[in-house]
């Protein structure tokens, strides 16, 4: 009976992916980017995505509103109460005696990178990160390419080249300069908006690379932030820290649609998995964001 139920769910996932014609998912994560930044900075590429896709300015970060718990939730499909990452001090050695999601002792909570690798062994999976600690959140050996890259310019170049040469099934790009600028100069400052504008230019380069690689007809592009900020910091419970932008465009995605319901950031992981035709692990707690899809 359990096998029959699994087969039904697996077939439903395949049909879902076919219905929306999505074969590739690209996620651009912008550390520390608030909705205010998207709205007030000159962000023509993000606004073009909003016009051609669905979006929310009240997607919810998990608490505490710091990077590690939130990036982990965004790639793990679950909140910190499930994946166990509560601070930026977390290291893999901290869970050497822990077991997550029916896995082996010392293995981190399953990320979408690992789930994709296990279900589609030949998939090309890429992760480029600007924040030095991001790569520790991803299991070793599951990515075709996984790098920490020093500058945003090099990060964008590596991503564009990867799209052109690899046409990856899943690509995650982590941009860090907006967060660093927020800490140095303050959220809502001219310097902060300039950093958001630079991130928008990277978005434009990714969109152009997808078009030139003839992937636009079957690729979903997602923009998400781990947290917002207030003053020169974050970590609290204010709307400025908790609300983050979520933008998605691609085949089968509603155009110019502002979400009526507030998604959790870990709902995005489940939505990505469904679009790629994956069976969602039973320990993931996110829900598919169904309202973004055309009927």
Rounded Cα gap, residues 96 and 112, in angstroms: 21
Rounded Cα gap, residues 150 and 235, in angstroms: 25
Rounded Cα gap, residues 169 and 25, in angstroms: 6
Which pLDDT does position 295 carry in this prediction? 85
Which pLDDT does position 20 carry in this prediction? 55
Of 8-22, 46-60, 123-137, 230-244, which range is least confident? Answer: 8-22
Judged against a pLDDT cut of 90, whether residue 8 lies above it is answered with: no
Q: Which residue has the tokens 């300015």?
A: 57
Sort strands 257-258 and 53-60 into parallel, antiparallel or unpaired.
Answer: parallel
Q: If you count them, how many residues does the chain have?
A: 295
Query: Angle formed by the axes of helices 190-212 and 44-51, to 10°?
Result: 60
Please, are residues 104 and 161 in contact by the beta-carbon 8 Å criterion?
Answer: no
Rounded Cα gap, residues 125 and 127, in angstroms: 7
Which pLDDT does position 260 carry in this prediction? 98
290 Cβ contact partners less than 8 Å away, ≥ 6 residues apart: none
As a whole number of Å, the CA-based R_g of the chain is: 18
Q: Which residue has the higher pLDDT, 192 or 21?
A: 192
Rounded Cα gap, residues 143 and 120, in angstroms: 12
Which pLDDT does position 150 carry in this prediction? 83
Rounded Cα gap, residues 169 and 218, in angstroms: 10
Rounded Cα gap, residues 161 and 118, in angstroms: 25
- Where in the chain are the domains? 2-292
pLDDT digits (tens, 9 = 90+) for 139-170: 999 999 999 998 999 999 999 999 999 999 99
Judged against a pLDDT cut of 60, whether residue 9 lies above it is answered with: no
- Average pLDDT for 204-225: 97
Q: Give 227's pLDDT tier (boundaries 50, 70, 90).
A: very high
- Using a 10 angstrom Cβ sphere, with 0-12 exposed, 13-18 middle and 19 or more buried, the burial of residue 239 is exposed
Q: Which residues pair with 26 in a beta bridge?
A: 171, 221
Angle CA(260)–CA(12)–CA(110) in degrees, nearest 5?
75
Instruction: Give me the CATH topology for the region 2-292.
Output: Alkaline Phosphatase, subunit A (3.40.720)
Sort strands 24-30 and 170-175 into parallel, antiparallel or unpaired.
Answer: parallel
């Amino acid at each position: 009976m359990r096998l029959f139920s699994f087969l039904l769910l697996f077939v439903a996932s395949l049909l879902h992916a076919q219905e929306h014609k999505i074969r590739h998912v690209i996620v651009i994560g912008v550390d520390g980017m608030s909705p205010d930044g998207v709205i007030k900075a000159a962000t023509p590429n993000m606004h073009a995505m909003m016009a051609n896709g669905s979006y929310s300015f009240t997607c919810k970060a998990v608490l505490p509103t710091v990077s590690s718990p939130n990036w982990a939730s965004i790639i793990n499909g679950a909140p910190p109460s499930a994946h166990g990452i509560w601070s930026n001090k977390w290291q893999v050695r901290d869970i050497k005696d822990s077991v997550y999601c029916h896995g082996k002792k010392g293995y981190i909570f399953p990320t979408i990178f690992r789930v994709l690798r296990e279900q589609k062994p030949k998939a090309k999976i890429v992760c480029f990160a600007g924040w030095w600690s991001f790569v520790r959140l991803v299991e070793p050996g599951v990515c075709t390419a996984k790098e920490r890259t020093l500058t945003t310019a090099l990060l964008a170049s590596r991503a564009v080249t990867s799209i052109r040469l690899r046409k990856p099934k899943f690509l995650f790009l982590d941009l860090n300069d907006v967060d660093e600028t927020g800490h140095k100069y303050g959220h809502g400052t001219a310097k902060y908006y300039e950093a958001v504008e630079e991130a928008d230019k990277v978005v434009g380069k990714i969109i152009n690379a997808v078009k030139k690689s003839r992937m636009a007809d079957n690729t979903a592009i997602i923009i998400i932030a781990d947290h917002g900020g207030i003053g020169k910091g974050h970590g609290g419970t204010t709307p400025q820290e908790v609300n983050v932008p979520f933008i998605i465009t691609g085949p089968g995605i509603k155009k110019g649609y502002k979400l009526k319901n507030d998604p959790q950031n870990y709902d995005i992981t489940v939505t990505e998995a469904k679009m790629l035709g994956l069976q969602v692990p039973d320990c993931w707690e996110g829900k598919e964001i169904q309202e973004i899809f055309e009927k």
